[in-house]
Amino acid sequence: MRALHETARKTLDPVRYDYVAGGAGEERVLADNERAFDRYALLPRVLRGSGTRDTSAALPGAPRTAPVLVAPTAFHRLVHRDGERATARAAAAEGAVLVTGTAATTAVRDVVAAAREAAPDPAVWFQLYPHPRREVTAALVRRAEDAGCTALVVTVDSPVFGRHTRDLRNGFTDLPPGYAAENMRGLPGTGPDALTDIPMSPAARWPDLTETLRGTSLPVLLKGVLHPDDARLAVEHGAAGVIVSNHGGRQCDAVPAALDCLPAVAGAVAGRVPVLLDGGVRRGSDVAVALALGAAAAGVGRPVVWGLAAEGETGVRRVLAALREEYDHTLALCGGRRNADLTADMVVRKGGTW
Ligand SMILES: Cc1cc2nc3c(=O)[nH]c(=O)nc-3n(C[C@H](O)[C@H](O)[C@H](O)COP(=O)(O)O)c2cc1C
Ligand SMILES: CC(C)CC(=O)C(=O)O
Protein backbone atom coordinates (compact mmCIF):
# COMPACT_ATOMS: atom_id res chain seq x y z
CA MET A 1 0.00 0.00 0.00
CA ARG A 2 2.89 2.28 0.80
CA ALA A 3 4.29 1.52 -2.66
CA LEU A 4 1.03 2.56 -4.34
CA HIS A 5 1.07 5.81 -2.40
CA GLU A 6 4.66 6.43 -3.48
CA THR A 7 3.81 5.73 -7.14
CA ALA A 8 0.82 8.07 -6.92
CA ARG A 9 2.98 10.78 -5.38
CA LYS A 10 5.54 10.47 -8.16
CA THR A 11 3.05 10.33 -11.04
CA LEU A 12 0.38 12.81 -10.03
CA ASP A 13 0.53 16.48 -10.78
CA PRO A 14 1.71 17.92 -7.42
CA VAL A 15 -1.32 20.19 -7.08
CA ARG A 16 -3.69 17.26 -7.49
CA TYR A 17 -1.58 15.17 -5.14
CA ASP A 18 -1.85 17.92 -2.54
CA TYR A 19 -5.64 18.10 -2.99
CA VAL A 20 -5.94 14.45 -1.98
CA ALA A 21 -3.17 14.26 0.60
CA GLY A 22 -3.89 17.51 2.37
CA GLY A 23 -6.04 18.49 5.29
CA ALA A 24 -7.36 21.58 6.96
CA GLY A 25 -5.36 24.14 8.92
CA GLU A 26 -2.04 22.83 10.17
CA GLU A 27 -3.10 19.27 9.33
CA ARG A 28 -2.99 18.29 12.98
CA VAL A 29 -6.14 16.18 12.78
CA LEU A 30 -4.95 14.60 9.54
CA ALA A 31 -1.81 13.37 11.31
CA ASP A 32 -3.64 12.40 14.48
CA ASN A 33 -6.10 10.12 12.66
CA GLU A 34 -3.28 7.75 11.75
CA ARG A 35 -1.36 8.20 15.00
CA ALA A 36 -4.46 7.26 17.01
CA PHE A 37 -4.15 3.68 15.82
CA ASP A 38 -0.57 3.54 17.10
CA ARG A 39 -1.80 4.34 20.60
CA TYR A 40 -3.70 1.06 20.74
CA ALA A 41 -2.64 -2.57 20.82
CA LEU A 42 -4.64 -5.73 20.33
CA LEU A 43 -4.84 -8.25 23.16
CA PRO A 44 -5.50 -11.60 21.47
CA ARG A 45 -7.44 -14.46 22.99
CA VAL A 46 -5.96 -17.93 22.62
CA LEU A 47 -7.17 -21.46 22.03
CA ARG A 48 -10.51 -20.55 20.62
CA GLY A 49 -9.69 -20.58 16.97
CA SER A 50 -11.25 -22.22 13.97
CA GLY A 51 -10.01 -23.13 10.53
CA THR A 52 -12.37 -20.82 8.75
CA ARG A 53 -13.47 -17.28 9.37
CA ASP A 54 -16.41 -15.20 8.25
CA THR A 55 -15.42 -11.54 8.03
CA SER A 56 -18.62 -10.31 6.41
CA ALA A 57 -20.48 -7.38 7.91
CA ALA A 58 -24.21 -6.56 7.76
CA LEU A 59 -24.74 -2.93 6.80
CA PRO A 60 -27.76 -0.95 5.59
CA GLY A 61 -28.36 -1.83 1.94
CA ALA A 62 -25.45 -4.28 2.07
CA PRO A 63 -26.50 -7.34 4.07
CA ARG A 64 -23.26 -9.29 3.49
CA THR A 65 -20.28 -7.14 2.69
CA ALA A 66 -16.59 -6.74 3.37
CA PRO A 67 -15.81 -4.98 6.67
CA VAL A 68 -13.80 -2.38 4.73
CA LEU A 69 -15.67 0.11 2.57
CA VAL A 70 -14.66 2.84 0.15
CA ALA A 71 -15.33 6.20 1.82
CA PRO A 72 -16.61 8.94 -0.47
CA THR A 73 -13.80 10.91 -2.07
CA ALA A 74 -14.45 13.56 -4.67
CA PHE A 75 -13.34 13.87 -8.28
CA HIS A 76 -11.71 10.52 -9.17
CA ARG A 77 -11.11 11.54 -12.78
CA LEU A 78 -8.61 14.08 -11.45
CA VAL A 79 -6.24 11.23 -10.61
CA HIS A 80 -7.02 8.62 -13.28
CA ARG A 81 -8.77 8.79 -16.63
CA ASP A 82 -11.06 5.86 -15.72
CA GLY A 83 -12.17 7.75 -12.61
CA GLU A 84 -15.10 6.49 -10.55
CA ARG A 85 -15.88 3.70 -13.03
CA ALA A 86 -12.61 2.01 -12.16
CA THR A 87 -13.19 2.46 -8.44
CA ALA A 88 -16.70 1.05 -8.79
CA ARG A 89 -15.59 -2.05 -10.65
CA ALA A 90 -12.82 -2.68 -8.14
CA ALA A 91 -15.03 -2.26 -5.07
CA ALA A 92 -17.73 -4.51 -6.53
CA ALA A 93 -15.20 -7.18 -7.46
CA GLU A 94 -13.82 -7.11 -3.92
CA GLY A 95 -17.28 -7.25 -2.35
CA ALA A 96 -16.90 -3.84 -0.71
CA VAL A 97 -19.44 -1.05 -0.45
CA LEU A 98 -18.52 1.92 -2.63
CA VAL A 99 -19.73 5.29 -1.43
CA THR A 100 -19.93 7.53 -4.46
CA GLY A 101 -21.30 11.01 -4.02
CA THR A 102 -22.36 14.50 -4.94
CA ALA A 103 -18.82 15.46 -5.93
CA ALA A 104 -18.13 12.57 -8.31
CA THR A 105 -16.75 13.28 -11.78
CA THR A 106 -18.94 10.44 -13.08
CA ALA A 107 -22.74 10.45 -12.87
CA VAL A 108 -24.13 8.07 -10.26
CA ARG A 109 -26.01 5.97 -12.84
CA ASP A 110 -22.72 5.32 -14.68
CA VAL A 111 -20.96 4.48 -11.41
CA VAL A 112 -23.61 1.88 -10.53
CA ALA A 113 -23.54 0.50 -14.08
CA ALA A 114 -19.75 0.05 -13.84
CA ALA A 115 -20.12 -1.74 -10.49
CA ARG A 116 -22.64 -4.11 -12.11
CA GLU A 117 -20.07 -5.02 -14.75
CA ALA A 118 -17.97 -6.53 -11.96
CA ALA A 119 -20.59 -8.13 -9.70
CA PRO A 120 -24.27 -8.95 -10.13
CA ASP A 121 -25.51 -7.26 -6.98
CA PRO A 122 -23.05 -4.58 -5.89
CA ALA A 123 -23.70 -2.21 -3.01
CA VAL A 124 -23.22 1.42 -4.01
CA TRP A 125 -24.23 4.14 -1.57
CA PHE A 126 -24.71 7.77 -2.48
CA GLN A 127 -23.10 10.49 -0.34
CA LEU A 128 -25.15 13.63 -0.27
CA TYR A 129 -24.07 17.17 0.44
CA PRO A 130 -27.49 18.61 1.29
CA HIS A 131 -28.00 21.55 -1.05
CA PRO A 132 -29.25 24.89 0.29
CA ARG A 133 -32.14 24.56 -2.20
CA ARG A 134 -34.27 21.65 -1.06
CA GLU A 135 -35.48 20.82 -4.58
CA VAL A 136 -31.87 20.27 -5.62
CA THR A 137 -31.31 17.93 -2.68
CA ALA A 138 -34.49 16.05 -3.60
CA ALA A 139 -33.36 15.74 -7.22
CA LEU A 140 -29.97 14.36 -6.16
CA VAL A 141 -31.70 11.78 -3.97
CA ARG A 142 -33.92 10.77 -6.88
CA ARG A 143 -30.89 10.33 -9.14
CA ALA A 144 -29.29 8.06 -6.57
CA GLU A 145 -32.46 6.02 -6.17
CA ASP A 146 -33.02 5.71 -9.91
CA ALA A 147 -29.41 4.62 -10.39
CA GLY A 148 -29.91 1.73 -7.96
CA CYS A 149 -28.00 2.96 -4.91
CA THR A 150 -28.92 0.99 -1.80
CA ALA A 151 -28.34 3.66 0.87
CA LEU A 152 -27.74 7.37 1.29
CA VAL A 153 -24.94 8.91 3.32
CA VAL A 154 -25.62 12.47 4.45
CA THR A 155 -22.41 14.30 5.29
CA VAL A 156 -23.06 16.53 8.29
CA ASP A 157 -19.57 17.74 9.17
CA SER A 158 -19.43 20.34 6.41
CA PRO A 159 -21.76 23.27 7.08
CA VAL A 160 -18.98 25.26 5.42
CA PHE A 161 -15.94 24.16 3.40
CA GLY A 162 -12.83 23.25 5.32
CA ARG A 163 -9.83 25.48 4.76
CA HIS A 164 -7.49 23.16 2.88
CA THR A 165 -4.16 24.85 3.40
CA ARG A 166 -2.35 23.24 0.48
CA ASP A 167 -5.16 24.00 -1.97
CA LEU A 168 -5.25 27.64 -0.90
CA ARG A 169 -1.47 27.86 -1.29
CA ASN A 170 -1.66 26.16 -4.71
CA GLY A 171 -4.61 28.24 -5.88
CA PHE A 172 -6.56 25.00 -6.40
CA THR A 173 -10.05 26.16 -5.55
CA ASP A 174 -12.05 24.80 -8.47
CA LEU A 175 -11.96 21.92 -10.90
CA PRO A 176 -9.74 22.37 -13.95
CA PRO A 177 -11.46 22.76 -17.34
CA GLY A 178 -12.83 19.49 -18.70
CA TYR A 179 -13.96 18.14 -15.34
CA ALA A 180 -17.38 18.47 -13.77
CA ALA A 181 -19.34 17.32 -10.76
CA GLU A 182 -21.55 15.28 -13.07
CA ASN A 183 -24.35 14.67 -10.57
CA MET A 184 -25.04 18.41 -10.49
CA ARG A 185 -25.59 18.59 -14.23
CA GLY A 186 -28.99 19.96 -15.22
CA LEU A 187 -30.38 20.32 -11.71
CA PRO A 188 -32.78 23.18 -10.96
CA GLY A 189 -30.88 26.44 -10.68
CA THR A 190 -27.56 24.94 -11.67
CA GLY A 191 -26.14 25.56 -15.11
CA PRO A 192 -23.01 24.57 -16.96
CA ASP A 193 -21.15 27.35 -15.16
CA ALA A 194 -22.15 26.00 -11.80
CA LEU A 195 -21.05 22.45 -12.46
CA THR A 196 -18.05 22.66 -10.22
CA ASP A 197 -19.91 24.48 -7.53
CA ILE A 198 -21.10 22.26 -4.72
CA PRO A 199 -22.38 24.68 -2.12
CA MET A 200 -22.50 23.69 1.51
CA SER A 201 -25.58 24.22 3.66
CA PRO A 202 -24.62 26.27 6.71
CA ALA A 203 -28.23 26.57 7.83
CA ALA A 204 -29.01 22.82 7.83
CA ARG A 205 -30.70 21.54 11.00
CA TRP A 206 -32.20 18.28 12.29
CA PRO A 207 -35.62 18.93 10.68
CA ASP A 208 -33.86 19.00 7.30
CA LEU A 209 -32.70 15.47 7.98
CA THR A 210 -36.26 14.49 8.81
CA GLU A 211 -37.31 15.88 5.43
CA THR A 212 -34.60 13.90 3.63
CA LEU A 213 -35.67 10.74 5.45
CA ARG A 214 -39.31 11.31 4.52
CA GLY A 215 -38.38 11.83 0.88
CA THR A 216 -36.68 8.47 0.39
CA SER A 217 -37.23 4.82 1.07
CA LEU A 218 -33.48 4.23 1.22
CA PRO A 219 -31.71 3.80 4.54
CA VAL A 220 -29.86 6.99 5.50
CA LEU A 221 -26.56 7.07 7.37
CA LEU A 222 -25.08 10.23 8.88
CA LYS A 223 -21.40 10.83 8.19
CA GLY A 224 -19.25 13.07 10.30
CA VAL A 225 -20.67 12.45 13.76
CA LEU A 226 -18.19 12.89 16.63
CA HIS A 227 -20.32 13.84 19.66
CA PRO A 228 -22.21 11.01 21.38
CA ASP A 229 -25.28 13.22 21.83
CA ASP A 230 -25.43 13.73 18.05
CA ALA A 231 -25.18 9.98 17.59
CA ARG A 232 -28.20 9.59 19.90
CA LEU A 233 -30.08 12.27 17.98
CA ALA A 234 -29.25 10.58 14.70
CA VAL A 235 -30.79 7.33 15.90
CA GLU A 236 -33.82 9.13 17.34
CA HIS A 237 -34.39 10.84 13.99
CA GLY A 238 -34.36 7.52 12.18
CA ALA A 239 -30.83 7.29 10.78
CA ALA A 240 -29.95 3.74 9.74
CA GLY A 241 -26.32 4.17 10.68
CA VAL A 242 -23.73 6.60 12.04
CA ILE A 243 -20.30 7.17 10.54
CA VAL A 244 -17.71 8.47 12.97
CA SER A 245 -15.50 10.67 10.83
CA ASN A 246 -13.70 13.99 10.86
CA HIS A 247 -13.59 14.04 7.05
CA GLY A 248 -10.01 12.82 7.02
CA GLY A 249 -8.85 15.95 8.87
CA ARG A 250 -10.23 18.23 6.15
CA GLN A 251 -12.81 20.17 8.13
CA CYS A 252 -12.20 21.39 11.71
CA ASP A 253 -8.49 21.08 12.56
CA ALA A 254 -9.10 20.95 16.29
CA VAL A 255 -11.19 17.82 16.73
CA PRO A 256 -10.06 14.47 18.13
CA ALA A 257 -8.87 11.63 15.96
CA ALA A 258 -11.85 9.75 14.57
CA LEU A 259 -10.80 6.60 16.42
CA ASP A 260 -10.75 8.45 19.75
CA CYS A 261 -14.43 9.39 19.25
CA LEU A 262 -15.54 5.87 18.43
CA PRO A 263 -16.01 4.30 21.89
CA ALA A 264 -18.30 7.06 23.17
CA VAL A 265 -20.38 7.09 19.98
CA ALA A 266 -20.67 3.30 20.00
CA GLY A 267 -21.75 3.51 23.64
CA ALA A 268 -24.40 6.12 22.87
CA VAL A 269 -25.78 4.16 19.92
CA ALA A 270 -25.79 0.97 21.99
CA GLY A 271 -26.24 -1.39 19.06
CA ARG A 272 -29.44 0.21 17.75
CA VAL A 273 -27.87 0.90 14.34
CA PRO A 274 -24.43 0.10 12.90
CA VAL A 275 -21.62 2.51 13.72
CA LEU A 276 -18.90 2.91 11.08
CA LEU A 277 -15.59 4.71 11.26
CA ASP A 278 -13.25 6.33 8.76
CA GLY A 279 -10.02 8.28 9.11
CA GLY A 280 -6.48 6.94 9.30
CA VAL A 281 -7.28 3.29 8.53
CA ARG A 282 -4.17 2.01 6.74
CA ARG A 283 -3.78 -1.67 7.62
CA GLY A 284 -5.82 -4.71 8.50
CA SER A 285 -4.97 -4.42 12.18
CA ASP A 286 -6.44 -0.87 12.14
CA VAL A 287 -9.69 -2.42 10.92
CA ALA A 288 -9.51 -4.92 13.78
CA VAL A 289 -8.99 -2.16 16.37
CA ALA A 290 -11.93 -0.18 14.96
CA LEU A 291 -14.20 -3.21 15.02
CA ALA A 292 -13.15 -4.13 18.55
CA LEU A 293 -13.97 -0.58 19.67
CA GLY A 294 -17.49 -0.83 18.29
CA ALA A 295 -17.42 -0.24 14.54
CA ALA A 296 -19.34 -2.56 12.22
CA ALA A 297 -17.03 -1.63 9.34
CA ALA A 298 -14.20 0.77 8.55
CA GLY A 299 -13.93 3.17 5.61
CA VAL A 300 -10.81 4.10 3.68
CA GLY A 301 -10.42 7.33 1.75
CA ARG A 302 -6.94 8.28 0.58
CA PRO A 303 -5.48 4.75 0.18
CA VAL A 304 -8.14 4.00 -2.44
CA VAL A 305 -7.32 7.20 -4.32
CA TRP A 306 -3.60 6.32 -4.28
CA GLY A 307 -4.42 2.88 -5.65
CA LEU A 308 -6.55 4.44 -8.37
CA ALA A 309 -3.92 7.02 -9.28
CA ALA A 310 -1.13 4.45 -9.43
CA GLU A 311 -2.81 1.54 -11.21
CA GLY A 312 -6.45 2.33 -11.92
CA GLU A 313 -8.92 -0.45 -11.19
CA THR A 314 -6.11 -2.91 -10.40
CA GLY A 315 -4.65 -0.54 -7.84
CA VAL A 316 -7.95 -0.10 -6.02
CA ARG A 317 -8.43 -3.86 -6.00
CA ARG A 318 -4.95 -4.30 -4.54
CA VAL A 319 -5.69 -1.85 -1.72
CA LEU A 320 -9.00 -3.47 -0.81
CA ALA A 321 -7.68 -7.02 -1.10
CA ALA A 322 -4.65 -6.20 1.06
CA LEU A 323 -6.83 -4.72 3.78
CA ARG A 324 -9.21 -7.67 3.68
CA GLU A 325 -6.42 -10.24 3.82
CA GLU A 326 -4.55 -8.43 6.60
CA TYR A 327 -7.74 -8.07 8.57
CA ASP A 328 -8.62 -11.75 8.17
CA HIS A 329 -5.09 -12.69 9.27
CA THR A 330 -5.31 -10.40 12.31
CA LEU A 331 -8.67 -11.88 13.25
CA ALA A 332 -7.15 -15.36 13.14
CA LEU A 333 -4.20 -14.25 15.29
CA CYS A 334 -6.63 -12.81 17.82
CA GLY A 335 -8.56 -16.07 18.11
CA GLY A 336 -11.61 -14.78 16.28
CA ARG A 337 -13.93 -16.52 13.89
CA ARG A 338 -16.17 -13.58 13.08
CA ASN A 339 -16.04 -9.82 13.50
CA ALA A 340 -18.12 -9.90 16.69
CA ASP A 341 -15.39 -11.95 18.37
CA LEU A 342 -13.31 -8.77 18.54
CA THR A 343 -14.50 -7.10 21.73
CA ALA A 344 -13.49 -3.94 23.55
CA ASP A 345 -11.53 -5.87 26.21
CA MET A 346 -9.19 -7.01 23.42
CA VAL A 347 -7.91 -3.47 22.77
CA VAL A 348 -5.59 -1.73 25.18
CA ARG A 349 -3.84 1.62 25.31
CA LYS A 350 -0.14 1.11 24.72
CA GLY A 351 2.17 1.75 27.61
CA GLY A 352 -0.52 1.37 30.24
CA THR A 353 -1.57 -1.54 32.41
CA TRP A 354 -4.85 -3.35 32.12
C1 LIG B 1 -9.63 13.87 -1.70
C2 LIG B 1 -10.76 13.66 -0.73
C3 LIG B 1 -12.04 14.00 -1.09
C4 LIG B 1 -13.09 13.79 -0.21
N5 LIG B 1 -14.35 14.06 -0.62
C6 LIG B 1 -15.38 13.81 0.21
C7 LIG B 1 -16.71 14.05 -0.23
O8 LIG B 1 -16.96 14.47 -1.35
N9 LIG B 1 -17.71 13.79 0.66
C10 LIG B 1 -17.47 13.32 1.93
O11 LIG B 1 -18.40 13.10 2.70
N12 LIG B 1 -16.21 13.08 2.34
C13 LIG B 1 -15.18 13.31 1.53
N14 LIG B 1 -13.91 13.05 1.95
C15 LIG B 1 -13.69 12.45 3.28
C16 LIG B 1 -13.67 10.91 3.20
O17 LIG B 1 -14.95 10.42 2.95
C18 LIG B 1 -13.18 10.26 4.51
O19 LIG B 1 -13.92 10.79 5.58
C20 LIG B 1 -11.70 10.44 4.76
O21 LIG B 1 -10.96 10.49 3.57
C22 LIG B 1 -11.22 9.29 5.63
O23 LIG B 1 -9.92 9.45 5.96
P24 LIG B 1 -8.65 8.71 5.26
O25 LIG B 1 -8.43 9.45 3.97
O26 LIG B 1 -7.59 8.91 6.27
O27 LIG B 1 -8.99 7.26 5.03
C28 LIG B 1 -12.84 13.26 1.08
C29 LIG B 1 -11.53 12.94 1.45
C30 LIG B 1 -10.50 13.13 0.57
C31 LIG B 1 -9.10 12.74 0.99
C1 LIG C 1 -16.19 19.00 -3.20
C2 LIG C 1 -15.57 18.87 -1.84
C3 LIG C 1 -16.49 19.40 -0.82
C4 LIG C 1 -15.13 17.48 -1.60
C5 LIG C 1 -14.68 17.19 -0.19
O6 LIG C 1 -15.46 16.84 0.64
C7 LIG C 1 -13.29 17.28 0.18
O8 LIG C 1 -12.46 17.63 -0.67
O9 LIG C 1 -12.98 17.02 1.35
ipTM over 0.90: yes
Residue 21 falls within a domain, yes or no? yes
User: What's the gap in Å between 247 CA and the centre of ligand 2?
Assistant: 9
pTM of the complete model beyond 0.80: yes
Number of folded domains in the chain? 1
Residue 273 falls within a domain, yes or no? yes
User: What's the gap in Å between 8 CA and the centre of ligand 1?
Assistant: 17
The protein residue with its alpha carbon nearest to ligand 1, atom 19, reads 247
What would the 3-class secondary structure string for the chain be?
CHHHHHHHHHHCCHHHHHHHHCCECCCHHHHHHHHHHHCEEECCCCCCCCCCCECCEEECCEEEECCEEECCCCCHHHCCCCHHHHHHHHHHHCCCCEEEECCCCCCHHHHHHHHHHHCCCCCEEEEECCCCCHHHHHHHHHHHHHHCCCEEEEECCCCCCCCEHHHHHHCCCCCCCCCCCHHHCCCCCCCHHHCCCCCCCCCCCHHHHHHHHHCCCCCEEEEEECCHHHHHHHHHCCCCEEEECCHHHCCCCCCCCHHHHHHHHHHHHCCCCCEEEECCCCCHHHHHHHHHCCCCEEEECHHHHHHHHHHHHHHHHHHHHHHHHHHHHHHHHCCCCEHHHCCHHHEEECCCCC
User: How many Å separate Cα 346 from the centre of its chain?
Assistant: 25
pLDDT at 198: 86
For residue 107, the domain's CATH number is 3.20.20.70
Residue 89 falls within a domain, yes or no? yes
Residue 44 falls within a domain, yes or no? yes
Q: Is the CB of 246 under 6 A from ligand 1?
A: no
pLDDT at 163: 96
pLDDT at 351: 82
User: What's the gap in Å between 246 CA and the centre of ligand 1?
Assistant: 9
**pLDDT < 50: residue spans in the chain:** none
Residue 354 falls within a domain, yes or no? no
The protein residue with its alpha carbon nearest to ligand 2, atom 6, reads 74
Residue 11 falls within a domain, yes or no? yes
Domain span at residue 201?
Answer: 2-349
Give per-residue pLDDT as tens, 304-326: 999 999 999 999 999 999 999 99
